[in-house]
Homo-oligomer: A and B are copies of this chain.
Amino acid sequence: MTATRTKAKAQDTKRARGSGPRDPERTSASILAAAVTEFTAKGYAGARIDAIALRSGANKRMIYHYFGGKEDLFTAVLEEAYLDIRAAERKLDLDKMEPEEAIDALVEFTWRYYLKNPEFLTLVNSENLHKGRHLRSSKVIQKEYPRFLELVQGIIDRGVAKGVFRDGISAVQLNITIAAISYYYLTNRYTGSIIYDRDLMDSRRLEERLEFNLQNIRRLLYTCC
């Protein structure tokens, strides 16, 4: 057998395997997706580069090629997570709603997004365990978030002007509170279910919690009750 034939056959074999060699975008996207799953399931320290390589179907070396290393890969994952939730939020067009409606929509969105994307919560937890080291180095994030704060402040201002919201509520405090009452319930689902001796993830309880949160934020904001 000649060398040429050998090589041709080798390439056929590769193509036949199917996991898309020579397709940079697909490779790096699949690595990122696998990384999200792994970092979410195990945390930063518990995550294994080998596991990510295996799950993504890509060669381990590719992770270093595209992302640099474990730390940079985590940064990329985190960045994506923070941008994804913002992108979803923006689709709500909160600035086009009435203030009462907008707040309800934000509370409900937060709850449902956390519920459907629990990896966001885990990644944020991991990042705080590492003292925000990765997020601090991300410039994209630091440009994106002030805009969000302005949006919420806008809603409050319109509500105050309309006479339905109390004055003096800070957008930061409000926002932290809206996140907190959903985040804590969901991120501590396991210890919570043990401590309170009930399945916090039961679908009826989940709806109840959303309702409770909506009322909580309304009572906090509204001028009359």
A interface residues (Cβ-Cβ under 8 A, vs B): 2-4, 6-7, 42-46, 122, 124-132, 135-136, 141-142, 145-146, 149, 172-173, 175-177, 179-181, 183-185, 187-198, 208-209, 212, 215-216, 219-220, 224-225
Contact = CB atoms under 8 A, between A and B. Distances in A.
A194 B135 contact: yes
A194 B141 contact: yes
A222 to B, nearest CB: 9
Q: Assembly of this chain: how many copies?
A: 4
Contact of A176 (B136, B192, B220): B192
Does more than half of chain A's interface fall in helix, strand or loop, or is it mixed?
Answer: helix
Contacts of A3: 2-4, 6-7
A191 B45 contact: no
Contacts of A180: 180-181, 183-185
Given A197-B145, A216-B220, A220-B219, A43 B129 contact: yes
A42 B187 CA distance: 18
Contact of A127 (B131, B177, B191): B191
A191 B132 contact: yes
Contacts of A132: 190-191, 193-194
A1 to B, nearest CB: 10
A216 B127 contact: no
A208 to B, nearest CB: 8
A194 B129 contact: no
A224 to B, nearest CB: 8
B43 A177 contact: no
Contacts of A172: 196, 198
